[in-house]
Amino acid sequence: MSGQAIIWVAFGGALGAVARYATGLLLKTTSGFPWATLSVNIFGSLLMGVMIGWLSRQSTPNEALRLFLAVGILGGFTTFSTFSMDLFQLIEKRDMAAMALYLGGSLFGGVAAFILGFMALRAG
Contacts of the segment 79-88: beta carbons below 8 A, 24+ positions apart: 79/20, 79/37, 79/40, 79/41, 80/41, 82/34, 82/37, 83/34, 83/37, 83/41, 86/34, 86/37
Task: State mean pLDDT over 1-26.
Answer: 95
**Is 24 assigned a ligand-binding role in the annotation?**
no
For the chain, domain boundaries = 3-123
Cα 14 to Cα 31, 74, 81: the distances in Å are 29, 10, 17
| pLDDT of residue 102 exceeding 90 | yes
**What is the structure's pLDDT at 35?**
92
Residue 124 DSSP code: -
> Mean pLDDT, to the nearest integer, of 67-96?
91
The structure's pTM equals: 0.81
Q: Across all residues in the chain, what is the average pLDDT?
A: 92
Say whether 49 counts as a known binding-site residue.
Answer: no
- pLDDT reading at 124 higher than 80: no
